Structure 1
Amino acid sequence: MQNQVLTPHVYWAQRHREVYLRVELSDVQHPDISITENVLHFKAHGHGAKGDNVYEFHLEFLEPVKPQLTHKLTQRQVNITVQKKENHWWERLTKQEKRPLFLAPDFDRWLDESDAEMELKAKEEERINKIRMESRVPNDSFANLKRGYLFMYNLVQFLGFSWIFVNMTVRLFILGKDSFYDTFHTMADMMYFCQMLAVVEIINALLKVTRSPVIPTLIQFFGRNIILFVILGSLEEMQSKAVVFFIFYLWSTSEIFRYPFYMLACIDIEWKLLTWIRYSIWIPCYPLGCLAEAVSVIQSIPLFSETGKFSFTLPYPLNITVKFSFFLQIYLIIIFLGLFVNFRHLYKQRRRRYGPKKRKTN
């Protein structure tokens, strides 16, 4: 009986320097794999239910690759690694635009370009930390000191925002809507303390004490402080607005889950429910918080125009008065740009934690 020639399922993924192929086969020994003229040739013999089969396929890569390859054979698959000649991201795997029917993405190993860069940075940091730990004993004491410092910082912030959240909730149940209008006068001192203390997060990101990205951290810090100190703190008329309640409540709702998550991570404890809330609570809170901040800016624009606060006059010969309300109109646009940047960052964090599992395509 003549062997039947079949095309196996092939799943692929890429990194900056490499291409990975996973060929799903069973009962295969000594596959014949080679690269000639930028074309990968694969041939293997396997034993199926109806007799012996020949599995074969060819792939012409989109861009040049090195002729040497490595492969690893397991009971159910063949893993192939091919090195790119030039280190950059490909838009697709094959030269032909239409994807072959037997080829599909390997979602277990799939990363987009920005994720790959973050992964490389994380691996490099992990490698450096490992070298330091192996070469120096004092690093253990430094690591413990860093953990203690981060634990205490997150604990203080958690207690501060919890105080705000609990007090606002109790006042809401007791006073109802009346609690909206004196939120600033009762909660501002603690909110000032927490938001000024948050500068520590920027320092940690800059000094690589934590892996937090600098840009999203800066956006959140300066965005909140502009609202707190400039919009609300400098205008008494704004301090009795109902929007203050919603800004403070949404900020504290997010932080009472974020800070204990980081606090427990310092002592290698993970509470799955807390982890899920930390990576999910921002979905309603962050857009609503940005909307509340935008409302406060809109309400403050006529007040700044009337009072002339923070406005200034350009020197002679221009003699033009520049109103601060003009900058607030620009800041409204910046709020929603910042929303996009931070929303994308938070979404990618959540996807890495709770991303889709592997999907098979026939």
Structure 2
Amino acid sequence: MNKELNTQQKSGRGAAQEMRCSLGFVYLFSYYLLQFCGHTWVFSNMTARFLSFGFDALAGTFYFVGVMMSLCQLLSVLELFHIADGIEECRLFPRLVQVVERNFLLFLIISQEEFQSKTVVCVLFYLWNILHLVRYPYQLMCLISTPSFNMLWARYTLAIPVYILSVITEGISILQVLPYYKSQGTNSVYVSFPYLLLAYLPVLVAGSGLTVQILLKERSQALDSWSRKTKHG
């Protein structure tokens, strides 16, 4: 009787775990696909407008794609819960740094109407979208099959210099918005907001530096794993 009960309990736990894995797969696949479609729309829209209107299209970048970009960046906060819950295997620190810095820039700086028409906004959006269009197809492929070497290389090699360029552009955007806040006299409780932005710059540099180190380590591990699979294959 006890053996039958234990068997039923193990079977129930196994079925529950299998269902949880299935739901996690469907959820992650839907999330990655939604993000991929959103960033593809933003990238395609920006490129089409640039090809049609040239540099005149840069000033209207946020007006035409800002809502979709903001939605995609807000949804990216869910990725922190994915990692914490264990349904996504990834290091938490680099993802946390990227999510925080992009949402900080987007909602505290780029959201300012006087700043939205600057060229740096268009450059930043392009760099962010390139990173996402490299990452999400790779993660989609990891769920359903084995990614090709080109996808692996783009995910772990191309993404690093693009990420570094995006961090530099973020720093430039902070420096460009400082005169606006100084002229407005915007204050945060005790400290002037421009000084908080200046204090954020070394934090951005330190966080992105650690992130790059982790990305380089992940790149080395991924390429070594690919090499071992190729040799055994």
Tell me if TM exceeds 0.5: yes
- For these two proteins, the number of residue pairs brought into alignment is 218
Aligned partner of 2:66: which letter? A
Identical residues among aligned pairs (%): 32
Q: Answer whether contact 2:97 2:208 (CA < 8 A) is retained.
A: no
Per-residue CA shift, 1:275-301, capped at 9, x if unaligned?
221112213211110111111100111
Alpha-carbon distance in 2 for matches of 1:134, 1:256: 40
Task: Give how far 1:307 is off.
Answer: 0.6
Q: 2:40 is matched by which residue type in structure 1?
A: S
Which of 9, 21, 35 is the aligned partner of 1:157? 35
Aligned 8 A contact 1:231 1:238 in 2: yes
Tell me the CA shift for residue 270 of structure 1: 2.1
In the alignment, structure 1 residue 145 sits paired with structure 2 residue 23? yes
Provide the rounded CA distance (Å) in 1 between the counterparts of 2:163 and 2:113. Answer: 26
Separation of aligned partners in 1, 2:16 and 2:57: 53
Quote the Cα distance in structure 2 between the aligned partners of 1:299 and 1:150: 37
TM-score, normalised on structure 2? 0.87
Structure 1: gaps (5+ residues): 1-131, 315-321
- Deviation, 1:135, is 6.4
Give the structure-1-normalised TM-score.
0.57
- The range that moved more, 169-178 or 245-254, is 169-178
- Secondary structure of the corresponding residue to residue 237 of structure 1: coil
Higher relative contact order, chain-length normalized (CA < 8 Å, sep 6+): 2
Aligned to 1:266: 143
Q: Contact 1:133 / 1:140 at 8 angstroms: preserved in 2?
A: no
What is the aligned partner in structure 2 of residue 250 from structure 1?
127
What 5-or-longer segments of structure 2 have no aligned partner? 1-9, 229-233
Q: Which residue in the other structure is 1:188 paired with?
A: 66
Say which of 201, 225, 232 aligns to 1:332. 201
More helix by share: 2
Kept in 1, the 8 Å contact 2:39–2:72? The answer is yes
**Match in the other structure for 1:303:** 180
- Which string of whole-angstrom CA distances, capped at 9 and with x for unpartnered residues, describes residues 58-105 of structure 1? xxxxxxxxxxxxxxxxxxxxxxxxxxxxxxxxxxxxxxxxxxxxxxxx
Which residue number in structure 2 is paired with residue 178 of structure 1? 56
Per-residue CA deviations over 1:89-139 (Å, capped at 9, x if unaligned) read xxxxxxxxxxxxxxxxxxxxxxxxxxxxxxxxxxxxxxxxxxx99962332
Match of 1:216 in 2: 94
Structure 1 or 2, whichever has the larger Rg, is: 1
> Root-mean-square deviation (CA), in Å?
2.0
Residue 115 of structure 2 aligns to a residue in which SS? Answer: helix
Superposed structure 1 runs of 4+ greater than 3 Å apart = 132-135, 355-358
Q: Matches of 1:199 and 1:312 in 2, distance apart?
A: 25
Quick one: which of 167, 172, 175 aligns to 2:45? 167
Mapped to 2, the partners of 1:195 and 1:161 lie a distance apart of 10
What's the offset of the Cα at 1:263? 1.2
Relative to total residues, which structure has the larger strand share, 1 or 2? 1
